Amino acid sequence: MKRSYIDRTHTWGRIFSVTAICVLISLPIAICLHYDAWPEARQVLIGLRGVVPIFWTTAVLEIIVYAPMLGTGATYLAFVTGNITNLKLPCALNAKENAHVKNGTEEDEVISTIAVASSAIVTTVILAVGVVAMSPLLSKITAEGSPFAPAFKQVIPALFGALGAGYFAKHWRISIIPILTAIILVVIDGNMKTGTLIPVCIVISILAAYIMYINGLLTGGVKPENPLKSFKKDKTESK
Amino acid sequence: MDFKESKFMYAIAGFIILFVIAQSVFFMVRAWRRGKEIGMKTSDLKNTVTSSALFTIAPAIAILATVITLAGTLGLVLPWIRLTVIGNLQYEVTAAQAAMEGFEGSGAIFGKSIEDPRIFAAVSWVMTLGSISPLFLLPLLLKTIQKKMGKVSTAGGDGKFGDIISAATFIGLVAAFIGVSVAGKAPTLKINGQAIPDKNSMGAGVLSVSVLITSIVVFMLLQWLCKKFKLTKLETFIMPISMFIGMGMAMLIYNISPEIAQIEWRPVS
């Protein structure tokens, strides 16, 4: 029997993940070999002690939170190419919204993969051209005092304002609680990292939406059956 | 010649970039073929490529600016490689800083160009090993996570609950960034024990709120125009256009009054 497209995507994703590990590890190995510069293991471990506890934990959270929104192919790609929250995820969501595809379908998977792949290619090309040809010019464009500098400092509000607008209008009932929660949390702790804020806001948003849904606030006043009860029922039946 | 920007370093960068592009092209071609097999329109697929490419330009230039920020310490090539694969500014600075702590007494500090290849090598090890975990976790976890999530989203039968949960997840994500844009302090980079504002960004203030409101209003206006006059081709570009106009607002305010533009609600002292 022919395996499904998603199953085959997992196989390719795994192959590319393992290949990416080898490619990435080749960077420090090549530097050490070429310059004959081998730091002591102790020195590297001291450095790792400062990053592994935070970043390895965050990685697990990121996979759980972003993978369902990105889909299979796009997740494998996005986690290799990085810049997920500030670029790949918004890009995929924008493409899905434009293409009017239903969440979780194969069309959704196709659009999301094409969006993240296009974004990864364009980013790589912009970085390459920028570094090789334009770095003197770029440092002038983004330097303090340049008329363009304020624009590049405001990419995040511009990006998420435009991205959120359509959703807020369409789902304004669901939007109020998470937005207020985020503002209150940031008012309390202005230095709160987005890495902490994002999972908290997502959990609160889902909980609030769930409570509204089972109370009929999102279904025109008609109380639907609690979906988690039917989920549990399905689980017991499958046992 | 600076060893951090030698031909050898550029050759490694070229190799890694080729890998990233090859992987992206491979996944794109597979998805495109699958899209055609299941009857999707070529125009929809092409629109996805065009709008995603356009959407990427501004954030990619912002990422390029972070390469320049890191270049003072690490040279141009290592940050370029790191931000092409997995990296982001906060992580790279933290990792470089943590790696330099292993060389106490060497005089290596963030902000000063690294001259010892051993320190440079240690930084590249820490940056790589500290950020590589998703590539180990994905092959092990992704399928299981998606199965579990799929079951929750289809619970309830008609798929409406799944759509609501998916919208709520996304809104939660956007809400976090809205919160930061409305009330956040400027991000700081912990450099040599001191919290220093990241000069590539600002805290919430006149500019961030104006940009946020502008991009929301422009998006709504363009969406309304598209519906009213059936401008289906423009629909694909509403998002990047709104983003650019939002960023343009920042430039406009700055050029009218730099003093007002620099007002932050909670400046980092």
Which two structure tokens, joined as six digits, stand for B204?
């919430």
What's the structural domain count of chain A?
A: 3
Instruction: Tell me: pLDDT of B35 over 80.
Output: yes
Instruction: Tell me: pLDDT of B156 over 60.
Output: no
The CA distance from B101 to the nearest CA of chain A, in Å, is 7
pLDDT at A139: 64
- Under the banding of pLDDT at 50, 70 and 90, the label for residue B158 is low
Instruction: Judge whether A215 is closer than 8 Å to chain B, CB to CB.
Output: no
Rounded distance between C-alpha atoms, residue B100 and residue B188, angstroms: 19
Torsion of CA B18, B87, B112, A43, to 10 degrees: -100
Residues A58 and A26 in one domain: no
The CA distance from B41 to the nearest CA of chain A, in Å, is 10
The CA distance from A27 to the nearest CA of chain B, in Å, is 7
The CA distance from A44 to the nearest CA of chain B, in Å, is 6
pLDDT at B90: 66
- Of A53-67, B21-35, B197-211, which has the strongest mean pLDDT? B21-35
Please indicate, yes or no, if residue A236 is contained in any of the structural domains: yes
pLDDT at A172: 93
What is the separation of C-alpha A20 from the centre of its chain, rounded to a whole number of angstroms? 19
- A18's CB contacts (< 8 A; 6+ apart) are B135, B139
Residues A91 and A143 in one domain: yes
Q: Which of A149, A180, A198 represents a domain boundary (last residue)?
A: A149
Window 18-77 of A, Cβ < 8 Å to B: 18-21, 23-28, 30-32, 34-40, 42-52, 54-56, 59-60, 62-65, 67-69, 72-73, 75-77
pLDDT at B118: 93
DSSP label of A104 = T
Which chain B residue is nearest to residue A210, measuring alpha carbons? Answer: B165
Residues A189 and A239 in one domain: yes
**Between helices B42-74 and B89-100, what is the axis angle to 10°?**
30
Judge: B172–A69 Cβ closer than 8 Å, yes or no.
no
Which chain A residue is nearest to residue B200, measuring alpha carbons? Answer: A153
Please indicate, yes or no, if residue A166 is contained in any of the structural domains: no
pLDDT at A235: 58
Please indicate, yes or no, if residue A63 is contained in any of the structural domains: yes
Of A31, A161, A200, the CB nearest to B121: A31
Which chain A residue is nearest to residue B246, measuring alpha carbons? Answer: A158
Instruction: Judge whether B145 is closer than 8 Å to chain A, CB to CB.
Output: yes
pLDDT at B53: 94
Residues A58 and A145 in one domain: yes
Please indicate, yes or no, if residue A212 is contained in any of the structural domains: yes
Rounded distance between C-alpha atoms, residue B62 and residue A152, angstroms: 6
Which two structure tokens, joined as six digits, stand for B226?
């598209």
Rounded distance between C-alpha atoms, residue A238 and residue A205, angstroms: 30
Mean pLDDT of A123-143: 79
Rounded distance between C-alpha atoms, residue B124 and residue B73, angstroms: 12
Residue B185 or B105, more confident:
B185
Of A147, A159, A208, the CB nearest to B243: A159
Mean pLDDT of A160-186: 92
Judge: A24–B128 Cβ closer than 8 Å, yes or no.
yes
Asked if residues A212 and A218 have their Cβ atoms less than 8 Å apart, the reply is: yes
Instruction: Tell me: pLDDT of A75 over 80.
Output: yes
Residues A31 and A58 in one domain: no
Asked if residues B99 and A44 have their Cβ atoms less than 8 Å apart, the reply is: yes
- A188's CB contacts (< 8 A; 6+ apart) are none
Instruction: Tell me: pLDDT of B22 over 70.
Output: yes
Judge: A119–B156 Cβ closer than 8 Å, yes or no.
no
Q: How many CA atoms lie within 13 A of A60 on its CB side?
A: 5
Residue B110 or B237, more confident:
B237
Please indicate, yes or no, if residue A116 is contained in any of the structural domains: yes
For every residue of B26-39, DSSP letters joined together read HHHHHHHHHHHHTT
Residues A142 and A65 in one domain: yes
Instruction: Tell me: pLDDT of A188 over 90.
Output: yes
Please indicate, yes or no, if residue A43 is contained in any of the structural domains: no
Write the pLDDT tens digit of every residue in B195-231: 777 776 788 999 999 999 999 999 999 999 998 998 8
Rounded distance between C-alpha atoms, residue B139 and residue A18, angstroms: 8
Judge: A174–B168 Cβ closer than 8 Å, yes or no.
yes
Residue A9: domain span: 1-38
Residues A69 and A11 in one domain: no
Rounded distance between C-alpha atoms, residue B4 and residue B77, angstroms: 7
Residues A78 and A143 in one domain: yes
Nearest Cα residue to A60 out of B145, B13, B46: B145
Query: What's the burial of A148, exposed, middle or buried (CB within 10 Å: 0-12/13-18/19+)?
Result: middle
Query: What's the burial of B221, exposed, middle or buried (CB within 10 Å: 0-12/13-18/19+)?
Result: middle
What distance separates the 2 farthest-apart alpha carbons in chain B? 68
> Which residues of B are less than 8 Å from A109 in CB distance?
31, 34
Instruction: Tell me: pLDDT of B260 over 90.
Output: yes
Asked if residues A174 and B167 have their Cβ atoms less than 8 Å apart, the reply is: yes
Please indicate, yes or no, if residue A20 is contained in any of the structural domains: yes
Q: What is the mean pLDDT of chain B?
A: 87
Instruction: Judge whether A198 is closer than 8 Å to chain B, CB to CB.
Output: yes
Preferred mutation among A14, A31, A126, A187 to probe B, highest tally of B CBs within 10 A: A31
Which chain B residue is nearest to residue A165, measuring alpha carbons? Answer: B216
Please indicate, yes or no, if residue A158 is contained in any of the structural domains: no
Instruction: Tell me: pLDDT of A57 over 90.
Output: no
Residues A31 and A101 in one domain: no
Window 106-165 of A, Cβ < 8 Å to B: 106-107, 109-111, 113-124, 126-128, 130-131, 135, 138-139, 142, 144, 147-165
Where helices occur in B6-131 by DSSP H, the ranges are 7-37, 42-74, 77-84, 89-100, 117-131
Where helices occur in chain A by DSSP H, the ranges are 5-35, 41-70, 72-81, 89-99, 106-129, 135-141, 149-153, 155-170, 172-188, 194-214, 227-238
Residues A210 and A134 in one domain: no
CB atoms within 10 A of CB B66: 23
Residues A67 and A1 in one domain: no
Write the pLDDT tens digit of every residue in B164-191: 887 888 899 889 989 999 999 887 776 6
Residues A6 and A58 in one domain: no
